[in-house]
Amino acid sequence: MIIIFGSDEKTPLTDSVYNWLVKNGHTVTLAGHLIDENMKWHWAEIGRDIGKRVGNKEFEMGIACCWSGTGIALAANKEDGARAVLSWDAETAKLGRKWDDANILCFSLRYTSDTLAQEILHAWFKEPFNEETLDQVKFVR
């Protein structure tokens, strides 16, 4: 899968997520602070960039992180076609894909451990969208 991955901070967690994505066969383009640690990137700017690029189908999926995960998810959702969800665990990631056809996974740099991030990623990529719920999510498309 072709993925854009961005964060407003480069941490051991973002390194781990990147390595997991590559190890699992995804093509990853970095965004925000992950491109250049010396640049000052604001979470809203990164979220909107990821939302726009996923929304216009330049990328199949996006992954976005900030300290709480909330701000970057809100910013991504400002863009047409972006459906970002903040996932605190594997179940919220799974349900975001299954029921909401979410295309951007967001999580917190503060509250997400490396083990939890891997569980979230595994659930996210394993779960397909349930087409039976399409009528329920048309308003966000």
CB 66 within 8 A of CB 45: no
pTM of the model: 0.91
CA dist 120 and 115 (Å) reads 9
Rounded mean pLDDT of the chain?
91
Residue 132 has pLDDT above 90, yes or no: no
Which tokens belong to 19?
A: 């390595």
Domain enclosing residue 93, as ranges: 2-140
Beta bridge partners of 65: 7, 107
What is residue 23's three-state secondary structure? helix
Which tokens belong to 53?
A: 């690029």
Condensed to tens digits (0 to 9), the pLDDT of residues 46-64 reads: 999 999 999 999 999 999 9
Q: How many domains does the chain have?
A: 1
Q: Provide the CATH number for the domain around residue 98.
A: 3.40.1400.10
What is residue 119's three-state secondary structure? helix
Least confident of 36-40, 71-75, 134-138: 134-138
